[in-house]
Structures are given as C-alpha cells and as structure tokens.
Amino acid sequence: MKTFDYQRANTIEAATRANGRFIAGGTNLLDLMKLQVETPERLVDISRLDLNTIEERDDGGLTIGALVPNSDLAADPRVVEKYEVLSRALLAGASGQLRNKASTGGNLLQRTRCYYFYDTASRCNKRQPGSGCDAVGGFNRILAVLGTSEQCIATHPSDMAVAMRALDAVIVTQKADGDKRRIPIHDFYRLPGETPQIETVLEAGELITHVELPSPPAGKQVYRKVRDRASYAFALVSVAGVVEVKNGVIASAALAFGGLGPMPWRNPAVEAAVVGRAPSTEAFEAAADALLADAKGYGSNDFKIPLVRRTLIATLRDLTA
C-alpha cells in the first residue's frame, strides 16, 4: 500500500472541503489500496459524522443515514416489516463481518469491477483509461450482458442497490459549496460508454449524506439471488421484485436486476409487459423478452441469458402466487 495522508472529519462541511477520498467502513476501498488499484493521496475519515440513524418521515417513508451499517439496516424492524426486499437483499450480500462494517453510502459506491480490474498486470479501461479491456474475449463468466460497451463489461456488485432501485430510492448529497442534491437512484449511476472510469454522477468532494425511501410499496416483495455458493459471492443473476395483484390482475410491478449490467438494472418495458395482465407463463415470458431484447453474451457468460429468463419467471411466480 502506498503512503497517504489521513484526515478525520468532524463535520459534513469539513469532509466535503478536505479534497480527499472518503472512507467509512472501507470494505471496498482498502482492498483496492492494498492491491494498488487505487492510490489516493488523502483519505478523509467520515466514520464519526452524525449520519448513522434511520428516521421515519411524515409520508411513511424512511431517511437512512449514509453511515448506517448494513447489518443494522437489514435488522431494523421498520425495514423488515415494510421493505422486506431491502432487508433480504442486504442479508444476501457479503458476510456477517463485512455487513457489520459496511456503510449504506459505501455500499452504493462499490466499484463496478471484474477480475481484470483487480489485476494490475491486465488491461483495464476502468483502471487505466485507453489501455483496453482484457475481459472482452477473456474469462468473463460473471460479467455483464446488458448496458456494456467495447470499453467495459464489468458488473455492479451491490445487492442493496438492486433493492434500492426497485424501491425508487433517492440519494441525498452535499457538495463542498454547501449545495445539496436529491438524486433519484435511476439517475445516479452511469453506463460505461467511452468513460468506464466514471461510474456515478457525483462531483469531486460531493458526499452522500442520506438515502430516502418513499412510503412502503403495496404488494408482495421478493429478493432472489442466484450465485455460485451460498454465501460471500456476487450474484450471477438477482431480482428484486415488488408486485401487487388485485382481482386476479397485476396492478403494479417494480423489478430490478443485479449481476446483469454495470449498474442496478431496471427497464420499464419489463414491468409494462405484466401490468394489467393476469399472472401467466405467457405474461412472464413477455417480461423476459423485454428484459433480454438487447442482451449480449461474451462467451463465458452466455449462460446468463437463459439463466435470467428462468430466474425472472420463477420470481414472478413467487410474487403472484
């Protein structure tokens, strides 16, 4: 690990003006620093800021501090009762030890990554823009089939963010000049395009302070994760679903996906394919067709395309049973 300056921030304003990389739990950043994938000159410790509470709002939703640990968020009675899909997604991620340390804001900001991103001897446009992408044409079994570009086919690793996408979360930030932003999660992440090293719309020095969840959604909630082993593994495919059935017809649906793209994936056409229809194999197949219309495999990950079809259909059956 290369040497760096360390600064402890006691206020949000001090943190945003410190001109360094924020660190809270450090469960992703410290790994990258040890491998010299990232070599920040200054770390700004925000772990002591007063951002570790979960508060109810008048509209029935929740405001979650950016420093709330994943374990605390998953176990909060209000989350378990009203946002089950989020609690289940959190418990499906990483290990208990990591969930105890990982923060809500940090989870959202995990680097979209692959094997070659970690290997400094490999070409990676995300790590070194313009160097090439060894994942394309290389071993890419767990990598993306949606939203990719010639520059990058890495996947976003977060389970929590997939559930947040299904719940239409809003990310609250503060800039160095004191300005605050409320960014809907569907506008927060960026596709790789020609600049895969830029993963979010955050500006330099901009700090996530809270995440807002709207009032609890109606209907049944499910989080299904398909992975190589039962714990401490990224999703090959995951689905966060919220579906309400009224009078034998699907009245509303929110479906987000992990393991498929460079961001938590959600396509309104998938939901439109089932809303207003009776639950049926035909409707579920139509949803899968909409999701996979632009899917592209890269060899080792071709199996993901039929796998996500089966996973989506099985999830929709659970949600409408």
Query: How far apart (Å, rounded) are the C-alpha atoms in residues 282 and 109?
Result: 37
Q: What's the count of helices (H) and strands (E) in the chain, helices before strands?
A: 13, 11
Residue 222 one-letter amino acid:
V
Question: Which runs of consecutive H residues, i.e. helices, occur in the chain?
Answer: 12-16, 29-34, 70-75, 77-82, 84-91, 96-101, 104-108, 115-118, 160-166, 185-188, 268-272, 281-291, 304-320
pLDDT value of residue 51: 98
Query: What's the pLDDT at 45?
Result: 98
- Determine the pLDDT at residue 30: 95
Residues in the chain: 321
* Phi-psi group of 33: left, alpha or beta (phi > 0 → left; psi -120 to 50 → alpha; rest → beta): alpha
d(CA 215, CA 57): 9
| pLDDT at 113 (0 to 100) | 94
pTM for the full model?
0.97
DSSP string, 150-196: TTB--B---SHHHHHHHTT-EEEEE-TTS-EEEEEHHHHB---TT-T
- Report residues of the chain scoring pLDDT below 70: none
The whole-number pLDDT of residue 25 equals 95
Nearest C-alpha neighbor of 220 from the set 87, 319, 287: 319
Dihedral through CA 16, CA 189, CA 239, CA 298, nearest 10?
-130
179 close to 196: Cβ distance less than 8 angstroms: no
- Decide if 300 contacts 134 (C-beta within 8 A): no
Give the CA-trace dihedral at 212, 214, 219, 224, to 10 degrees: -20
Q: How many angstroms separate the CA atoms of 208 and 169, rounded?
A: 13
User: What would the pLDDT profile of 250-289 be if each residue is shown by its tens digit?
Assistant: 999 999 999 999 999 999 999 999 999 999 999 999 999 9
Taking alpha carbons only, the member of 222, 225, 250 closest to residue 236 is: 225
272 phi, psi to nearest 5 deg: -65, -25
pLDDT reported for residue 94:
86
Contact predicate 212/167, CB 8 Å: no
